[in-house]
Structure 1
Amino acid sequence: MNYEEALPFLRKNHKGVVSTNRPDGSTHSSIVVCGIYENNPTFVSVYPKSQKIVNLRKNPNCTLVSVTGDWRNYVVIEGTVSMMDYKDTDKELMRTKLREAYMSCSDNPHPNWEEYDEAMIRQKAVIVSIKPSRVYGLLR
């Protein structure tokens, strides 16, 4: 499977598990809501001090597994991440990008965008995009 073959699946299946590397070499995994944003697998972390973000700031390599609701089909993306947050990004640009990332990781628009914007600022949200280096999975 190549990345282009995986894109339709990644665009419509938003449940995932991301695995990062701890400094001691062990793996940390957590569930995420994911999608394709700006042509890259993406998820938003609402806690910049979460273990996955701490790990990715030290080692940008990760693995994302995107699955169907019944766990019968999946795509695995291995790669390196780039991150965007309010600390390094213009506030209005970040607001727009977070909304766009939300829509790429969801099947429905947010019911209250103003509330969403305020929560993303308060929680210091981070957009995490993965540059794929390896793609594999099972699509039936």
Structure 2
Amino acid sequence: MADLEDFAQLVPGDHGLCVVSTLRADGTIQSSVVNAGVLAHPVTGAQVVGLVAVGGARKVANLGERPRANVVVRAGWEWASAEGPVELAGPDDPLPGVDDERLRLLLREIFTAAGGTHDDWPTYDRTMAEERRVAVLLTPERISGNRRG
């Protein structure tokens, strides 16, 4: 039985690359490759899976209408999947308790949780704002995988 720590331990194995799957209006599944990591929820402090999406992306629209996702991380032959409800925090998707400054820092936290580093945070922040980036926070209800410790 996998847990969120298993998921977190696999993130560095392939630069935080994960597959996120959302549900389209017609019931079909939309999947894309993203960078994701495990971090504390900015309001509750609970551990969540976070990723950053471009504002206006199809996955953001899907999640706004059907706020549930599955995120799979793998490294070699080991994998873990986290499924559950999501919350969005972005300039077009306000999350109570997350103001503009907290959003700026949250986008950095997700980026670093996914293994990212940056030499110029002001440029990073500016790009995130220009692209209307959205923080996607998944609260895991179901975690599965084959990680063996």
Query: Under a length normalisation based on structure 2, what TM-score does the superposition of the two structures give?
Result: 0.83
| Equivalent AA in structure 2 for residue 63 of structure 1 | N
Give % identity: 29
Query: Could you tell me whether the CA contact under 8 Å between 1:10 and 1:41 is conserved in 2?
Result: no
**What number of residue pairs does the alignment pair up?**
136
Alignment partners' CA distance in 1, 2:135 and 2:5: 24
Query: 1:6 deviation in Å?
Result: 2.2
Which residue pairs with 1:6 in the alignment?
6
Matched, 1:56 2:63: yes
Matched, 1:92 2:97: no
Cα RMSD, aligned residues only: 1.6
Matched, 1:102 2:111: yes
Q: Cα 1:4–1:90, aligned 2, differ >3 Å: closer, same or farther?
A: closer
Q: Cα 1:3–1:17, aligned 2, differ >3 Å: closer, same or farther?
A: same
Alignment partners' CA distance in 1, 2:107 and 2:60: 16
1:1-140 aligned at under 5 Å gives the runs 1-10=1-10, 12-13=12-13, 14-38=16-40, 39-45=47-53, 47-68=54-75, 70=76, 72-87=77-92, 88=94, 89-106=98-115, 108-140=116-148
Q: Which runs of 5+ in 1 are unaligned?
A: none
- State the 4+ residue runs in structure 1 displaced beyond 4 angstroms: none
Query: Under a length normalisation based on structure 1, what TM-score does the superposition of the two structures give?
Result: 0.88
Query: 1:105 deviation in Å?
Result: 1.1
